[in-house]
Each structure stands twice: as C-alpha cells, then as structure tokens.
Amino acid sequence: MDYQHSIPISSKFKKQKNVVKGLPIFTILIVYFVVIAYPLFWMVINSFKSTPEIFSSSWALPKEWLFSNYTEAWNTGISGYFVNSLIVTATTCFITVLISALGAYSLSRFEFKGKNILLVFCMGGMMLSPQVSLVPLYKLIQLLGIHDTYFAMIFPYVAYRIPITILLIRAAFLEVPKELEESAFLDGCNTWTIFTKIFVPLNKPILLTAVVLTAYYTWNEFMFALIFVDSDALKTIPAGLMQFRDALQTNWGVLMAGLMISALPIILLFMFMQKYFIRGLSSGSVKG
Amino acid sequence: MQNTNKWLPYLYIAPCLVFLALFVYYPIVENFFYSFYDFSAFSVEKTFVGFENFLNLFKDEVFYIALKNNLWYAVISIVFQVFGGLILAAILEDKLVRLVSGLFRTVFFLPVVISMTVIALLFTFVYNPDIGILNGLLNMLGLENLTRSWLGESETAIFAVIAVSQWQSIGYIMMLFIVAIQNIPQELYEAADIDGASKIRKFFAITVPQVKEMFFVTTLITLTGAFTVFNEPYILTGGGPGNSSEVLGTLLYHSAFGKDQMGYASAVATVILLITLIVSLVQLKVFKTGKDV
Amino acid sequence: MKKLLILSIISILFLSSFAGCSKSSSSTNGKDVVELKFFHRWPNQPKKQYFEKAVKEFEKAHPNIKIKTEAVLNDSYKEKIRVVLGSSTPPDVFFSWSGEFAYNFARQGQSLDLTNYVNEDKAWSDQIIASQFNAFTLDSKIYGIPWSTDGKAFFYNKKIFKDLNLEVPTTWSQLIDVSKKIKAAGLTPITFGSKAPWTISHYIGTLNQLMVPQDVLDKDYDPKNPEGDFSHPGYVKALEKFMELKPYFNKGVNSVDHEYSRELFNSGKAAIGFFQLAEIGLIEPSLKENLGVFNVPGVEGGKGNPNSITAAPEGIMISSKTKHPKEAMEFVKFLTSKEKGIEQLKEVSEYSAVKGTTTEANASKLQQDAINLILNAEQTYLWFDTAVDIKIVDAYLNGTQLMLDGKKSPEEVMKDVRAAAKEVKASANK
C-alpha cells in the first residue's frame, strides 16, 4: 500500500490526507460489502418467490411477492418449535458460558500442576467429528435416561461448545493486567470475588461474544436434535424446518422464509450485543 | 496467584471437565476402540479386525484426496479468515471508519448466522454454469474463457466449496479480532501517534502483538475447523464429481451412514483427531500461549 | 465460594424443573394397552397428516393398541434408523427403502421375518403386486411389505415435440435423432442433474437392463456370487450409450441437482427428462396436457430385455426386537390394505403397491398409464443403487461423474467397478 511511507508533515494537510488515505480502505470495504450483502439480498428476495420462480428467474425481483411463504413457514415449521429452541438455546448459552468462564479463569490466572494438559484436554471437543460420535452419544444418552428430553440436546451442545468458549474467554482473561488482581487481593478480595467483581465485568464483550456464538450454533444445530429427540413436542426450529426439504420436492420459498425468520432472533441478539462494542471516537477504553 | 487453596483451580474447571469427559471423551475413547472392529451402526456383533481399518484407509486413494483437500482448506482458511479477518477488524477499528463501522460489522457478520442449507442453495445459483452470476461477471469482464461449471468440474469443485466457507466465516473471525482489538489500551496507539508511526507500522507493532492470544484461538478454530469440515462439501458437492471434493468429514460420513462401515469411519475419525491434536500441540508451542512475550 | 455453591444449586434446580415437564408418560391408561413405536420418514405435509389420520383410524379400530409415531426426513432418516436399530429400544414398525437398504437390516438380524404372516393371510397379501415383494425378499424370506411403488420413464413435452414435428422415439437411435433436432431448435433436449449421483444410477441400471442378458445381471448383481465379475461387454456399451446423451444434456450436469433439472423441464426450457413416475404429480400441474410419458427406448443390438422397467417399492419392516409382532403386523396390514392404497394416491400422490388402487377415481389418465407401464412390464428391476452392493454403486457413480467431466472413459469406469465387485464378493465369501 502506497501510504506506507507517508510522514505527517503538518496538521494543515492532515484532513486532506485522511480523505486520500481513506480511499483505498473504503474501496476495499465497499467491494467486500457488496460481495457479502448482494447474496444476502438475494436470499431475502427469493424467500418471497415460489419454487419454480426461484429456479427460473433466480436473480430477478419476484413477479409477485409471496408473503404467504412467511405465514406458511411460521404456521407449519416454526411457531410450535420456537419455545423449544428458546429454552434449549438459553439454557445451553447459560451453562456453557458460565462454566467456561470458570474454567477459563482457572486456566488463565492460576499456576497449578497439569495446567497445560488440562488446556489440551479442553481443546479435545474441537477435534472430534460429531458425525462419528452419534452412536456412542446415543448409547450414553439412553444410559443417562435423558433420551427424548431437552437435556439430550443441551448436554452435548454444552460439551461441544466448551472448547471454543473456554479458549475465547481464556484469551481475554489473559490480557487482564495482573496489577488489578493484585491490588484487589490486598483489598481483601478472594478468588471468587475477583472473578465476579473484576474478570466478569471487565470482559463483558468477550462473554457476550461467547453467548452469541453459542447461541447461533445451538439455534442452527439439527443433527443431534433430530437423532436424540423423538417427540415432535420437543423439536427445535431447524429440526422443524427440515420438513420442507424432501428428496424430490423441496418448497424452497417457504424453507427460505422459515430460515429468514429463524435467523432473526440471532441477528437481533448480535445487534443488541454490538452495543458493547461501540465506543466513541475519543473515549479511550470500553473497559469498566 | 499466590496463597490460595491449591484445589481451587481444579474446582473452577471441574464442571467443564465433567461435561467434556462424558460427552466428548467417552465418544472419543469408544470411537478409538471401534476403529479396530468391523461393524455397522445396527450390527448385533462386532468383528475384531485389528489394524485392518487403518491399513485399508492408508491404501484408500480417496483418503489422500480428502487429506489434500483438507490441507487446502486449512491453508486457504488461514489466509482468508485469520489474516483477512484480522485486517478487516483492524480497518473497522480504524478511526477513519469508526463512524460507519457498526453497519459494516453487522453485515459482515450476517453470513455466520445464516443456515448452510440456504447458503448452499444460494451458491449453486452463483456457480450455475448457465445462469450463475460468477460466469455472468466473467462474461461481462470479457473473460469468457474462464467461465466453467465451477462445482461440476474436478479441478475447481473443492475450491468453489472452500470459497463458500470463506464467504461465510471471515465475519466470524473478524468479530473475534474486533473484540480483541478493543481490549488494547488506547495509550499504546496514542504514544505511537506522538512518535509519528504510520498505520501499517502501528498495525504490526501494536495490534498484532496485542492480539496474540486471540490469534492463537482463531488459528486453532480455523485449523481444527478445516480438518473436521463436513457441511459445506456435503451439501454443495457431496464430495463429487467422482471423489474430487471429498474431505475427511465426508469420507467418514459416507463410510458410517452410506456404506455401513462404522469401524472404517471410526478409523477416519481417529486420524482426524490425531491430525488436529498434533496441529494444536504445535500451535501451543509456537504461540507460547499464556506466557508473556 | 458460597455464592458459587448457591449458583450451581440454583442452576441445577432450574434445569431439573423443566426436565420434569418434558417427560410426559402416557402408557399408564388402560390395562393391556400395547404401545407400538412407528417410525417413518415423512415429517412433511401432506404425508405427515395422512399417517396421523391413519394412526387414529387404526387406534379406533384397535382400542388395545396405541401407536407412537415419529418421523424425520431422508438423510436424517438414514442416520437415525441405523442408530436406533442398533440401540436397545428400536421402533417396532419402520419404513425402509427396498433392496440393499432393507437387506442390510435383514442380514444383521434387525428385521423380523414376515414370510409366515404373508402366507397366512392370502386375502390381504395377494392383493399386493407380486413382483414388488422381490425387493424385500432375501434368501426366499420376506422381510418387508411393499407400501408404495414407483418407476422410472422418460417424460416429454408434447408441445415441443409437436412444434418441431417430432415422433416419440422407440429406439435409442431415434432418441438421439430427436435430441439432435431439439438442440438445433435452441432448446435443451434432455434435462439432467448429477450432483446427487443417484440420478446417474437410474440411467445405468436401466441401460444395463437393456444391454446385458438377464442371467448375467443376476450373477453379477448377487453380492455372494464370485462368478459375477461384471466382465460382460454390454456394461461398457451401456456406459457408452449413456455418454451418447451427454451432448444433449444441459450444461454442467455435475453441478446441478435433480430438482433444478426438473424445473428446467417444468418451465419448458427442456424437452425430455428421465423422471420417477411419482413426479407426474409434481409436473402435471405446470405442463398439464403437454406432459407425455414413454418407456425407455430399446437399444439396437442390446442383449437385455427391452420390455423391462426400473420399478421398485418402498416398504414397511418390523423390528426383530419388537415385543408385539402380532400387533405390529396388524398395523402394517392396515397401512397396506386396498382401502388405504386408494386414499394414498389421492392424498399423498404415492402409487400404492396394491393392485387396482390406481383408477379413474383417484388418478389422472397419465398416472394410470404410468402404473400400467409397471404392471405390463415383463420384468421389473430394482433401483440400481439398491440392487447391488454400495461399494459397486460407489465405483459406478463416482466413475460416471468423472466420465461426464471428461476425466474417465467407459472402460476405465468398468475397471474400477470390476475391482470393487471383486472386493465385495471376496469379503462376502470370507
């Protein structure tokens, strides 16, 4: 990049220079924005089409806007499963982030025997292919007597999300200055209060990121959901939406409308969480 | 941390360990034993075959195709997701962009939450040889000779699939870096400004070292993801044409649920596990995570 | 520390509170109520509703039997049925595709031998098209009851044929000829999508039937017969005949799926397609009277039977672990009765495997013609991908995809197939 060698000469030129400097950056951003946004736009407009129209004129605007796709998806695929998804996702997020934060606290702020081995142990879940664990997990779930309950989904989800979550939180915890902790110690805090009073509030962004990432995984997962749960009454949204995908006949318009609706809560969660990213132009730090 | 109960750190991590032991390590151990047997998911009896599954695997040419494709996955994902994601994050955190970065951030992250089912459908239209926009774009640019059936030709199929994964996942890694960058004390940048450092210089001198731990996490996520990937190739090409876009994950799945060779699938899973374990251990060494530089 | 303890107790309480309400047991009402688990693969409408209704009717007629239904779709069904059959609590009654899919369960002793039930109640079993039992018969024992049937034929757009002044082809060379003319007119002659390669297997199975004598096929397809080595020259010819169609397919067949290819046909952009008879119900609404069907034209010089059709059922099996085989069988008989068969076509567009269920009353003219193609064929063949061992299928399908991609020749594909066949037969006779 050519602005690499530029040296600030005087503040008079600074503004002008900023605009010039910004140009390549903005070009990159806008090109990438189009690459991402245009397909997303395609998804939205195609969710209003009938299946034949998706296939025959997939890049055009719908001839007729089929809002009925949305009502159909809601009525047959989503409304009944919404509460299940909510319960499973909320519980999974809560347990995962809580115990991962505790685990990360242990792995990042203590010196103890076997720490590195435990760190590797915690990474294990990222290395196992879930497809091959279906048979042992099914046996285990029957053994625990949680087959066909919410726990048949929640427990495996938690276990499979712990590795990433614990690593993320640990990475953030490691960056917390040691001095903060030491002075808190002198003030009479114990390890638990240091965790709740210093580490958790200081690392809200990463904890919320962990929540979002766990939520999006749980919200979209369907392999475990379909195999470990039998009752229709317990199924989650993606498992419910699968009913629009047949081998010979998929109602793509409705399926896409359903997937749009189901993505919405996660998008909202993300936007809500963004609040914790935003920092003013001048303010120094988000911490505190 | 000094003078605390020595059991405390174990206690804090205990809940995690319980979950992992039951739902991750029990399957891992079972799976390891399964890899020495010949059976299907619904077999009444399992036949012990020793190392036969592994020997067959190492003789299977599809295994090497898959391994090569996973390596491509790993390399390309590191470049685009980790480096690309970091650069994007740095740009969005730049003072120049900060006013509008909220919008960009949201849009860049959106593909992450969209289900693979829709993304796959979308990209079959992007890549479609007749009506696809990719070929359309190439035609518009006068590059007709580059147009092809992207998912349908052995040479391009796996790369077309990998590209979809990049499209979806860069935003994920980007977001992790944004969180990390925001944790960097501003004073460091201010001090550099006084010294008159350029943006590029600040990026390499401050941003990169300061996000070291996140760098470790993101490379780990990306690499383990590259070796366990399943959904994208399975939905987009099913491993075809021929076996040209097969990855270890689809090989495993086809063996387990297509050919009813659960033992063989377990052997594949064991190999995946070993690869990712080695990769992770190497990373632990390289990054010296948890230790101040 | 205390807080941690309290927090964990609270979370455990919170968790167990809704564990309690999710377990709703319903087995305690009535004394000798038998509960059957029924697992099928259609959670989607209209079939979901069809089965719900059928279950209700059955329960009403049999107050001592309660049926718990579960359904997941396709790929998930293939995963889940394998996992649950291997567990200690498999479903009593479950759906199965025909051929190898069902045989595998039978070989592992997971499905109940139903031969006696079929022989005992001739009044019921004789109503089912006899040839359809073949697909569930292994070593002369019947393991499944055919529920629906389906076949494969060429569909064509009558309007395009009329506009271009074309005749329905009755020989392979006529088919090529017709395709040439359609291509010259700027349309796609034959629509095809081989991304999911089972579509390839339908062509191959059909062409093998036309090119290879029956006794050779039987020998080669049998997983245990070591003499069947796929060495007949007809196999290579069959692949060559298939490749003759390639110039007339739409572009990039390996990258499009069957559904896309059907939409090309539906929208009138393509003139011919190779479809399942059940798809008439999906195409007729858009092409209406312009939709025509013809059986695969015979190949000149082919050594197989030209008066044959690929047509196979899907069926219902009973778990060998069931505690209530009689009641389970009762339910299967109910689902495969003539009465249900008639409803079935009307309500869920699946041809019943029961004779005389496709009539003017519940089917279009074309659908009746289609079912007659099956009934009048001298010989029906299983879907190729369920007729031979999966390893042989794999070699065929992967090879053909590469052949379409210009990477392999028919001989090379057959070389792979022979190697796979050798492996399969060696391990079966170990």
pLDDT tens track for A160-219: 999 999 999 998 898 888 888 888 888 888 889 999 988 998 888 889 889 998 998 999
Do A226 and C72 lie within an 8 Å CB cutoff?
yes
**Of B26, B122, B248, Cβ closest to residue A39:** B122
Do A245 and B117 lie within an 8 Å CB cutoff?
yes
Mean pLDDT of C144-149: 92
pLDDT at A13: 52
Mean pLDDT of C401-425: 93
Do A263 and B290 lie within an 8 Å CB cutoff?
no
Spell out the residues 6+ positions from residue C281 whose beta carbon is closer than 8 angstroms to its own: C349, C367
The residue of chain B with its CA nearest to that of A26 is: B97
Smallest Cα distance from A120 to chain C, Å: 25
The letter for the amino acid at B66 is A
- Confidence band (pLDDT; 50, 70, 90) for C301? confident
pLDDT, tens digit, 9 for 90 and up, residues B28-64? 999 999 999 998 888 888 889 999 999 999 999 999 9
For residue B70, the chain A residues in CB contact (below 8 A) are: none
Res C347 pLDDT > 80: yes
For residue A121, the chain B residues in CB contact (below 8 A) are: 17, 20
The residue of chain A with its CA nearest to that of C269 is: A56
Q: What's the CA dihedral at C299, C302, C304, C307 to 10 degrees?
A: 30
Question: Exposed, middle or buried: residue A65 (CB in 10 Å: 0-12, 13-18, 19+)?
Answer: exposed
CA distance A202 to A193: 13
Q: Could you tell me what percent of chain C has a pLDDT over 90?
A: 53
Give this prediction's pTM: 0.88
Name the percent of chain A in helix, strand, coil, to the closest 5: 75, 0, 25
Mean pLDDT of C395-414: 94
- Confidence band (pLDDT; 50, 70, 90) for C375? confident
CA distance C298 to A177: 81
Q: How many CB atoms lie within 10 A of CB C57?
A: 13
pLDDT at C288: 86
Its ipTM equals 0.87
Do A242 and C72 lie within an 8 Å CB cutoff?
yes
Closest CA to A239 of A218, A214, A211: A218
pLDDT, tens digit, 9 for 90 and up, residues A77-130? 688 888 999 999 999 999 999 999 999 999 998 888 888 889 989 888 788 888
pLDDT at B15: 94
Asked if A130 has any chain C CB less than 8 Å from its own CB, the reply is no
Mean pLDDT of A8-22: 55
Low-confidence ranges of chain B (pLDDT < 70): 1-4, 291-293
Asked if C27 has any chain A CB less than 8 Å from its own CB, the reply is no
Asked if A55 has any chain C CB less than 8 Å from its own CB, the reply is yes
Q: What's the CA dihedral at A262, A266, A271, A272 to 10 degrees?
A: 120
Could you give phi then psi for residue B144, rounded to 5 degrees?
A: -50, -35
For residue B41, the chain C residues in CB contact (below 8 A) are: 82-83, 85-86
pLDDT at B7: 85
What would the two tokens of residue B197 be?
């450092």
Res C397 pLDDT > 70: yes
- Confidence band (pLDDT; 50, 70, 90) for C20? very low
pLDDT, tens digit, 9 for 90 and up, residues C173-192? 999 999 999 999 999 999 99
Res A250 pLDDT > 90: no
Q: How many CB atoms lie within 10 A of CB B245?
A: 27
pLDDT at B292: 56
On whether the CB atoms of residues C387 and C315 are closer than 8 A, the answer is: no
Q: Which of B1, B3, B16 to mutate to test the interface with A (most CBs of A within 10 A)?
A: B16
Mean pLDDT of C124-153: 91
Asked if C86 has any chain A CB less than 8 Å from its own CB, the reply is yes
CA distance C118 to C133: 10
Whole-number mean pLDDT of chain A? Answer: 83
**Of C108, C398, C401, Cβ closest to residue B40:** C108
- Window 156-215 of C: residues touching A by CB (8 A cutoff) are none
The residue of chain C with its CA nearest to that of A194 is: C1
Q: How many residues comprise chain A?
A: 288
- Window 142-161 of A: residues touching C by CB (8 A cutoff) are 142, 146, 148-151
Whole-number mean pLDDT of chain C? Answer: 87
pLDDT at B29: 92
- Confidence band (pLDDT; 50, 70, 90) for A56? confident
pLDDT at A15: 53
Res A2 pLDDT > 50: no
pLDDT at B155: 92
For residue B253, the chain A residues in CB contact (below 8 A) are: 131
- Confidence band (pLDDT; 50, 70, 90) for A285? very low
Res C11 pLDDT > 60: no
- Confidence band (pLDDT; 50, 70, 90) for A53? confident
Asked if B108 has any chain A CB less than 8 Å from its own CB, the reply is yes
For residue C80, the chain A residues in CB contact (below 8 A) are: 226-227
Do C255 and B258 lie within an 8 Å CB cutoff?
no
Asked if C268 has any chain A CB less than 8 Å from its own CB, the reply is no
pLDDT at C22: 39
If one compares A287 and C42, the residue with the highest pLDDT of the two is: C42
Candidate from A223-232, A270-279, C271-280 with smallest mean pLDDT: A270-279
Do A131 and B109 lie within an 8 Å CB cutoff?
no
Size of interface A-B (CB pairs under 8 A): 292
